[in-house]
Amino acid sequence: MASRLKELFTPYFTSLPDPRLARSRRHSLLDLVIIALCATLGGADGWADIERFGKAKRAFFDSFLELPNGIPSHDTFGRVFARLDPAALLGCVQDWLTAFCAAVDPEMIAIDGKALRHSFDTAAGRNPLHLVSAWATQARLVLGQVAVAEKSNEITAIPALLRLLDVEGCIVTIDAAGCQKEIAAQIRAQQADYVLAVKDNQPTLADDLIEAFIDHADRDYTDPGLRRCTTVERGHGRTIGLVIRTRAVDGVETEEFVYYLSSLPPKVKTFARAVRGHWGIENRLHWSLDVTFAEDQSRVRKDHGPINLGMFRRLALSILQQDTSLRDSLRGKRLRAGWDMDCLLAILAGFCGS
């Protein structure tokens, strides 16, 4: 199987433009990509770790890579991926994911942002990198990512991310940052439905929703006007929803009221499944990136390095989430992929359908 591993990557990454001058290339770009992803799957959390992994598993990589100049140094990994075009790398990753997604049904896609807290560069006057990701909540797969530009916010990044995705027939869920008319219109134009949280960033809309629910609560939700209101809202392509979250800590209960605007028909189970599914991007993606991949602790900062390494983490997490060859936690699978090359091969083969 090791001899075929390069073949798994070749269809998707051979078109990746190499940012280096031809005369300065001592290592194949494809080799760099393969070693970096395998190392990230096997527990490496930065360029130095990736070099350590490559050297520790030199015999494994020698079995299918030529490596005329040995395993690249961490400086080489850092320099190449700092200069590598993130959009080009994302295109290659998405080609791979598209091939995989042909066998799965995304159905619900959660979009949310996350800051890489230690990616700031004080000397260069650069704030921490903020990535907006699209997460297939049921397939447990990262479908794409876009970096928020300096001095901008998620409102500009979300439309760019949506344009990269085929969301037709899906339900797109976004937190309050994405509750914008233009974003809602774009989702509908891409033949998808939306469920958008409404909070204080849209005070007038939030107040209108609160008043609507208070009015019907005063009537114990028995007013026949509730049905007429729903019918009218459906006619305009919008449904409003309320979720009450109750939390008990040390015997003390607190409640949070969250309001939503949706293009879905007024069906409670579908709406509830979409809202609950959105939590998956926090629990299964962001939490896992911090706890299992130590993303918040990463000090990779130079140029495109943080976003490209972030892409490898998200791809590695997606691959591990899809694995059925091992019965273990994400952390356990990652450790075993680093210890046992047969485990690593089985995880990659399963993702590639081999």
* Residue range 59-101, pLDDT digits in tens: 999 999 989 999 999 999 999 999 999 999 988 988 888 777 6
For residues 145 and 106, the model is more confident at: 145
For residues 71 and 300, the model is more confident at: 71
Highest mean pLDDT among 103-112, 200-209, 260-269: 260-269
| Mean pLDDT to the nearest integer, 179-190 | 92
- Dihedral (CA of 224, 225, 228, 230) sign: negative
| Mean pLDDT to the nearest integer, 308-321 | 92
Radius of gyration (Cα) for the chain, nearest Å?
Answer: 23
> Residue 240: what pLDDT?
74
> Residue 216: what pLDDT?
52
Average pLDDT value for the chain: 82
Residue 308 to residues 8, 37, 183, 242, 299, Cα–Cα distance (Å): 20, 11, 26, 38, 13
> Residue 109: what pLDDT?
92
When pLDDT is cut at 50, 70 and 90, the band that residue 104 belongs to is low
Check whether 183 has a pLDDT greater than 50: yes
Q: Please, which residues have CB within 8 angstroms of residue 312's CB and are 6 or more apart in sequence? A: 36, 37, 40
pTM: 0.81
For residues 101 and 142, the model is more confident at: 142
- The tokens describing 93, both together, are 């990753």
Residue 242 to residues 29, 259, 275, Cα–Cα distance (Å): 50, 5, 10
When pLDDT is cut at 50, 70 and 90, the band that residue 192 belongs to is very high
N-to-C CA span, the chain: 9
> Residue 225: what pLDDT?
45
| Mean pLDDT to the nearest integer, 264-289 | 85
Count Cβ atoms within 10 A of the Cβ of residue 122 and give its class: 0-12 exposed, 13-18 middle, 19 or more buried.
exposed
> Residue 140: what pLDDT?
85
CA-wise closest residue to 246 among 228, 263, 258: 258
Check whether 222 has a pLDDT greater than 70: no
> Residue 229: what pLDDT?
40
Check whether 217 has a pLDDT greater than 60: no
List, for residues 106-137, the tens digit of each pLDDT value.
Answer: 688 999 988 776 555 555 556 667 889 898 88
| Mean pLDDT to the nearest integer, 334-340 | 94
Check whether 235 has a pLDDT greater than 50: no
